[in-house]
Chains A and B, each alone.
Chain A
Amino acid sequence: MVKVAIWGSLRGATDGKAEVEVEAGNFKQLLDQLAINYPGLKPQIKRGVSLALDGKIYRDDWFVKINEDSEVVLMPYMVGG
């Protein structure tokens, strides 16, 4: 299981939990599992999310590998100027 930190305004969809656990080995599995376990997260996942994995931000890469002890933080999709 991977622990995923959920940002504050999404916690309505995770029963108020700041951190949830899902079974996932990569970014895609993580998103799929989150959508199944917490359907309330679906709209945001559709709008776009980034993944901070051990401090590094990934925007799109489905197959970036996630380890059990990885620090995983879900973040809104990032853009720049």
Chain B
Amino acid sequence: MALDEHKKRIFKLIGTRPPRPDGVDKVTGRAMYGADATAPGMLTGRILRSPHAHARIKSIDTSAAEALNGVKAVVTSADFGLPEDESVRDVQDNCMAREKVLYDGHAVAAVAAINVSVAKQALKLIKVEYEILAHVTDVDAAMQADAPVVLAGRAMDDLPKGMSENVTHHFEFGHGDMEAGFAKADKIIERSFKTAATHQGYIEPHACLATMGSDGKGELWVCTQGQYYVRELCADIMDMDTSQLRVTASEIGGGFGGKTTVFIEPVALALSRKSGRPVKLVMNREEVFRASGPTASSSTDVKIGMTKDGRITAAHATFRYQGGAFPSGTVQFGAQSSFAAYDLDAVQTIGWNTMTNRPKEAAYRAPGAPMAIYAVESVVDELCQELGLDPLETRLRNAAHKGTKSSYGPTFDDIGLEATLEAAKLHPHYTAPLGPNQGRGLSCGFWFNFGGNTCVALSLNFDGTVGITEGNPDIGGSRASISMMAAEELGIAYEKVRTIVADTNSLGHNDVTDGSRVTFAVGLATIKAARDAIKKMCSRAAKIWDIDEDAVYWEDGFAKPSGPNAGSFEPMSIEEIAATSPNTGGPIVGHHEVNAEGAGVSFGVHLVDVEVDPETGATTILRYTVFQDAGKAVHPDYVEGQMQGGAVQGIGWALNEEYIYGEDGRLQNPGLLDYRIPVASDLPNIDTVILEIPNPGHPYGVRGVGETPIVPPLAAISNAVSRSIGLRMSALPMSPPKILKALKSKG
């Protein structure tokens, strides 16, 4: 659906900041999250996990556990079938190892027992015999021909000679004459980068409550970003019809992409089916780190050429990502997005994805983009330093704009990059003075944004109030923004609308809450559903007035005759139409089903000041400003919240967060003590500047905003640190030992 013609529409509600409808539940502790549900006769599930990075399972003896008083079911991979679809089989095998364990923390068996003590005791009684195999966790090592093979038979087609079977994906993008481009450059910089794997770090661990009856019907309560996708995966794995499995999404305690697949849900269902009792399965934090999905780690080579006056002549990058123990093609997004901010005549990107003995990666906010753009933006910054150019001016000079053929192929429509850069240039932050040991860095960021399959139902109640049923869990205020768009369209008060999140049987399919799609796609479907309801309400008014349906229009919550020719009638309120609906044809429901396309891409620019302690290598973030194009900010508080939250996740990625593996291939920091996500005292206020360059693909101009903000911080901070210490950093995280070592090497 295209942007409404009336571009200059004056909104009544859009752009205001009303309280969110689920606010009271969430500040009083009443809101029900994944682990908060119970069921009569409920059992406690626990999972036994591999202590080895890579091993063949020679045998599993569960007899002693089964014999323990209070144990009601024990399951292993033998309790699951073999799904035909390879990708579903991978998901299942990730939930419960078959034949081999592929990473430290991989599930090998599970129990359901009357309480947690018995369950823990039962796990100790399960005897697993392993044959330990050689393992590999580093991305570059995993690609070598002689690397231990994680999963045989899964290599990409046409695997190049000298590469390991672990390599599953290869992508190339770009256009133009590279050689000619580099020949025109006055300065060429080539540099290699590494980034560590990080975790989404949602505060709520995975949790679910599964009930499988002997009648073949299943109920699943689960914290997830997508109840429909969970249903499809679980129904496939459990070999049941999707209609027989109802999945209800609990309130969700953060996801950031990490809750877009299943880890424990099929196991809980299998335990319930075997025990005949409801089973609650909740991961502890250690399990979250060892066995859910972190992001990819990466290794990158970038080469960029620039003229003396700051024009990029050619750009090349090779990206190598590891995505854990199963095939994963996330490098695609790195290879596509890396140069999106630039208008280039010659650009080429190459991406390789490899398996390693690590947990299978899950999506993490703009998956694949942050580490790629980090490498590119670092080299652009270094070129500016070497050539004595202003980094903002140089980006403006090369900025992608409407009509630019993007580095990944398509030509851009209206985009907000130049406006965002201009806003940063004019902001006082950019010219504020810096003290000793301080540095300023900036970076552009980009994400594609998606739409996807969406259903919304809008029910008119007899009192004229409105109920919205939508199918995407509310991670960060979407009930508010959806209610606002419905109220705006209907011309009624925000308080008259209530939005609920449906279970899988109460509404048609909705894609996962990902790709920054909800405010865009669900919003679009809501507006369309409201227009559908308006059409129906106008037709009821027409019936009452006995005039033609087309002679009625809708304004500010009233049906009105469209002109003197239509007849002279008092406007009819939504309340009157609702109250008389039983007499005029029955209940009124507007609805809309769509596979929403046309999500506009999103650009952001981050500006950061840091100070580095030259004696310890510690970095302090002094000041941080986020500039981003939101298309149209429906609820600016929650747009700012996305910008701030994404920036801080990026700060963690840049400075301290990392998966640390030992020589033995075991994860050494599976806890929030040593996996160091930023705490409140680490940070300054995060200032935000929202730009609104309307997305032509949405009636109100909305663009997704959730993912882009995690992209720029990595390079922005690396650039600031590098400028502060006078030395280019090229690996993340820039933990103090790394910075101090660099300082010492400088002498």
Contact = CB atoms under 8 A, between A and B. Distances in A.
The 9 closest A-B pairs by CB, nearest first: A8-B172, A80-B515, A81-B257, A52-B410, A73-B409, A81-B363, A80-B514, A9-B172, A55-B413
B709 to A, nearest CB: 12
B172 A78 contact: no
Contacts of A11: 172
Interface string A52-81: 111111111100100000010111101111
B411 A81 contact: no
A79 B365 contact: no
A43 B156 CA distance: 11
B462 interface: no
A76 B450 CA distance: 13
Given A57-B448, A57-B450, A57-B597, A79 B697 contact: no
B731 interface: no
A59 B450 contact: yes
A55 B412 contact: yes
Interface in A21-47: 43
Interface in B163-178: 170-175
Contact of B450 (A5, A18, A52, A79): A79
6 contacts: A57-B599, A73-B408, A76-B332, A78-B448, A80-B515, A81-B363
Nearest to A81: B257
A7 B409 contact: yes
B182 interface: no
Contact of A60 (B447, B516, B595, B707): B595
Nearest to B351: A9
B173 A7 contact: yes
Interface of A: 5, 7-9, 11-12, 18, 43, 52-61, 64, 71, 73-76, 78-81
Interface of B: 157-158, 170-175, 256-258, 260, 329, 332-333, 336, 348, 350, 363-367, 406, 408-413, 447-453, 514-517, 595, 597-599, 697, 707
Contacts of B516: 80
Given A57-B597, A80-B366, A80-B367, 8 more contacts: A8-B172, A54-B410, A55-B411, A55-B412, A71-B411, A78-B450, A79-B514, A80-B257
B394 to A, nearest CB: 25
Contact of B410 (A18, A43, A55, A59): A55
Contacts, number: 99
Contacts of A9: 170-172
B409 A75 contact: yes
A56 B257 contact: no
A55 B406 CA distance: 9
B528 to A, nearest CB: 16
A8 B174 contact: yes
Contact of B171 (A7, A52, A57, A64): A7
Contact of B260 (A53, A56, A73, A81): A81
Given A61-B595, A73-B409, A80 B707 contact: yes
A12 B171 CA distance: 12
A53 B597 CA distance: 11
Contacts of A78: 333, 448, 450, 515
Given A79-B363, A80-B448, A81-B515, A71 B410 contact: yes
A79 B367 contact: yes
A59 B452 contact: yes
Contacts of A60: 453, 595
A64 B597 contact: yes
B664 to A, nearest CB: 30
Contacts of B451: 59
Nearest to A7: B173
A11 to B, nearest CB: 8
Nearest to A76: B332
A72 to B, nearest CB: 9
Contacts of B336: 75-76
A78 B452 CA distance: 10
A78 to B, nearest CB: 6
